[in-house]
């Protein structure tokens, strides 16, 4: 029991670092490629990384579980990858990381709506606080020199909702399967489709002609190998030894890592951004309060 608890927190920290660095990697990938291309590179590389580890386990997946695995691939990987890269064409990577912290709030909301979870007063107030903080981030960003950021910030919120649904699917429908198998097979349809579509675009032309294309490809590939393939397997493992809310709370620390990268990259971060993020964190703390 003690070893499992220690492993839970080790996985938590590792995921914070990996996913917190994902936003700056997306930004660097966008230097030479389109949002859809970066998302497809990410999914394709992630699929290729996990394929050798799971192909021999194909028969171990019960037939009735495939529909959930496909949904996990779409909701936990494909849709968020495209939404985040599209959003980061207008939203600074550090702000994207802050908005990503809404995932635990939407995890609770999904639990209330579809899994008969009954929140107490603290959790209800936490949801309202978190949404208020997110509103500050969205509204202030749209007035802070980033054209159209309000709409693009909503894409990140949509990705958070997608992650929330994915978390419950993993916990309630796929918990008995091996973490690496779920991660690998979930990427089968998404990764193959992404790889096929990628080469119907001007990807090869950009790779040969766009300035800094090699660095952008490296960033998107690292994002796929670590930010998706490795991180998804670790996240699935953490879900097996913790709860959906604890797993979703990895987003506590992700924004701090994203914020550090944003500062290194000279992004403009104001006091209102910080205030909105603090309010979001206060809401998440209330959501995760045990006495409610």
Q: State how far the Cα of 76 lies from the Cα of 50, in Å rounded to an integer.
A: 16
Q: Dihedral through CA 103, CA 104, CA 109, CA 111, nearest 10?
A: 120
Contact between residue 49 and residue 224 where contact means Cβ atoms under 8 Å apart: yes
Compute the distance between CA of residue 287 and CA of residue 281 in angstroms, rounded to an integer.
10
Quick: pLDDT tens for 45-60.
999 999 998 988 888 8
Distance CA 140, CA 95 (A): 11
Domain range summary for the chain, segments of one domain joined by +: 2-287
In the predicted structure, residue 143 carries a pLDDT above the cut 50 = no
| DSSP secondary structure letters along 158-191 | HHHHHHHHHHHHHHHHSTTS-HHHHHHHHHHHHH
Give the pLDDT score at 292: 40
**pLDDT at site 210:** 95
| Nearest Cα to Cα of residue 142 among 89, 91, 84, 83 | 91
The better pLDDT of the pair 109, 219 is held by: 219
CA separation for the pair 181, 183 (Å, rounded): 5
246-279 pLDDT per residue, tens? 776 777 778 888 888 988 998 888 888 788 888 8
Q: What gap in Å lies between CA 77 and CA 250, rounded to an integer?
A: 17
Q: Following CA atoms 27, 71, 155, 226 in sequence, which dihedral angle do they give, to the nearest 10 degrees?
A: -20
pLDDT of residue 215: 97
Q: Which of 15-24, 31-40, 238-247 has the lowest mean pLDDT?
A: 238-247
Q: What is the pTM of this model?
A: 0.85
Q: What is the DSSP letter of 145?
A: T
- What average pLDDT does the structure give for the chain? 87
Distance CA 139, CA 273 (A): 10
> How far apart (Å, rounded) are the C-alpha atoms in residues 20 and 16?
6
Q: Which of the four pLDDT bands, split at 50, 70 and 90, describes residue 203? A: very high
Cα separations (Å) of 224 from 159, 219, 241, 267?
A: 17, 9, 25, 24
101 has a pLDDT exceeding 70: yes
Identify the pLDDT of residue 256: 85
Spatial CA neighbour of 173 closest among 61, 260, 249, 68? 68
196 to each of 39, 131, 190, 288, how far by Cα in Å? Answer: 13, 38, 10, 42
């Amino acid at each position: 029991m003690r070893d499992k608890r220690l492993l839970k927190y080790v996985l938590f920290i590792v995921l914070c670092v990996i996913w917190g660095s994902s936003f700056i990697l997306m930004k660097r990938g966008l230097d030479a490629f389109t949002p859809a291309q970066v998302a497809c590179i990410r999914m394709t590389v992630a699929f290729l990384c996990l394929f050798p580890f799971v192909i021999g386990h194909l028969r171990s997946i019960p037939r009735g579980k495939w529909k959930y695995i496909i949904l996990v691939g779409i909701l936990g990987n494909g849709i968020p990858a495209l939404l985040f890269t599209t959003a980061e064409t207008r939203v600074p990577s550090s702000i994207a990381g802050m908005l990503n912290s809404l995932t635990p709030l939407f995890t609770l909301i999904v639990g209330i709506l579809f899994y008969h979870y009954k929140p107490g007063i603290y959790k209800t107030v936490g949801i309202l606080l978190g949404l208020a903080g997110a509103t500050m981030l969205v509204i202030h960003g749209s007035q802070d020199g980033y054209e159209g950021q309000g709409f693009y910030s909503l894409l990140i919120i949509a990705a958070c909702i997608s992650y929330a649904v994915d978390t419950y699917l993993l916990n309630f429908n796929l918990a008995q399967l091996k973490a690496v198998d779920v991660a690998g097979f979930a990427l089968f349809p998404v990764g193959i489709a992404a790889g096929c579509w990628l080469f119907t675009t001007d990807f090869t032309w950009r790779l040969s002609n766009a300035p800094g294309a090699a660095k952008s490809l490296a960033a998107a590939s690292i994002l796929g190998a670590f930010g998706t393939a490795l991180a998804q397997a670790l996240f699935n493992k953490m879900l097996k030894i913790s709860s959906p809310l604890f797993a979703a709370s990895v987003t506590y620390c992700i924004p701090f890592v994203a914020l550090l990268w944003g500062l290194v990259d000279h992004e403009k971060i104001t006091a209102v951004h910080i205030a909105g993020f603090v309010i979001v964190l206060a809401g998440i703390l209330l959501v995760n309060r045990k006495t409610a």
